[in-house]
Structure 1
Amino acid sequence: MNTISRRQFLQKSAQVTLGLLGTAGASGIYSHWIEPYWLEIKYVDITLPRLPPAFDRFRIVHFSDLHQGVYSKPQALTELAQQIQHVNPDLICFTGDLLDHSADYISEAVALCSQLRAPFGQYAVLGNHDAFGTRKVVTKGLTQSGFHVLHNEHIVLTQGTDKLYIAGIDDPWVGKADIAQALLHIPEEACTILLAHEPDFADDFCKLPIDLQLSGHSHGGQVRLPFVGALYTPPHGSKYSSGLYQLPNSQLQVYTTRGIGVTRMPVRFNCRPELTVITLHS
């Protein structure tokens, strides 16, 4: 049996330690300086059996969780605006958390949103961060930038005689969400898309006449380790944390985007920021 001297053992141990430290250092640099600003454009096809024929191949840009604040970079906002307009969406939907904490950054967020236009309009709902003291500022900023903020209400999109309903509720977790009010007077047989910040409330909505729920909030976990998954997901954002879900025994589908910004920790790992481009099919 081969043996190694104490000196050789210490040398190999030092090499392994340096290698691990180097890997950790590189991962730290990547997760802090690179991935949080490496935007992924994710194209998703969603079939809605009740979608009217006139809205077949209707394109929606869905983004969420901008969390504009101290960790935001102006060039990242510029890229986001360019990418949204480049895909020529029919409709733009934002599902909450425009600001991280401070209202001091509202002008930067408004500057971004003011660049975004789609033929069928721009619609938004508030998230839990928006409801913590910046509600009026965020609502005013989004409105000034051309977004219609849906507070427990809906709008109707029309093409010929076909109609598609877009409903939105106040933040279900810390706001004053009223799903009944949002759906009031929508025909039971109509195709309806719901904007709601926290995805896991879909379990409360699955028996209602809603076809698709668009959500954010979870950030996809923000840090996802191979073979482990997300290290942390926030309350009401863990069951449907990222991607498309079909709820059992329901017509309701949920799409949760990983969001644009970061919160708590200024890092992302194996969980790039996401701009979602949804094409609807009947």
Structure 2
Amino acid sequence: MNDSGEIITLNKENIDAEHICCAISDKKCTEGYLKKKEWLKQQVSKGYVFKKFNVKHKVFIEYCPSDIAWLPITAPNYMVINCFWVAGQYAGKGYGKRLLENCMKDSIDKDGIVVLTSNKKKSYISDKKFFIRQGFEVCDTAPPYFELLVYKNNPNAISPTFNQSAKENVCSNKNGLTVYYSNCCPFTEYYTNTVLRELASREGISLEIIKIDNKEQVNDLPSAFSIYSVFYKGKFITHEILNETKFNKVIDGIKNGVY
């Protein structure tokens, strides 16, 4: 594959042959990579869009109409950006802007576009500063650091909001760790069901894993981030996928009374 300015849109004819950017070389995440592809196949048939540059790195955008979006938000007649990633070596070269322009063109008949960001730059979350520069503005917030940004085609449209469950940000399980995850990301399957299970067992901490399988589950999530969220005794800890290093930091925080 040669690097080029070509943008490829995944569809049922090419999705098996095309890479989906994430976890390309991480052999541990092969199962998650395949499950992400299966998830994409189901969603593309409903109107989900995955566009990427024809390069070997992560330069892509995923978006869909709000009625099929896997975010705990209320945003009728909006387009929702689900994932947006431009690898460092491509940053500042117009790749991100071109991908967003594609989304905007596909959103002409919508009231606008919504994207989940955070008040400070966080891993796995789209960069707020980029979207602010493109004319987006904050329309709602959810604890502890999530922000919902909107770009309106219709200035009179009702602004999108987080659902109440995301605003409450409290998990019903008050014992040990609780993890919510979906196959929207190829990394979650391995790091949840293999790594986290082993680490929690090692520390003797109870672990409840809740897999998000459908849009209906997403609506009532206790976290604004439907891809992966970790709670301890009902309190939100992080949206970042826990490897051993990050898990150990969480354990340190538990032992020191931070959580």
TM-score range, shorter chain: 0.3 to 0.5
Query: Which structure carries more relative contact order (alpha carbon 8 Å, separation 6+)?
Result: 1
TM-score by length of 1: 0.33
The normalised TM-score by structure 2 is 0.36
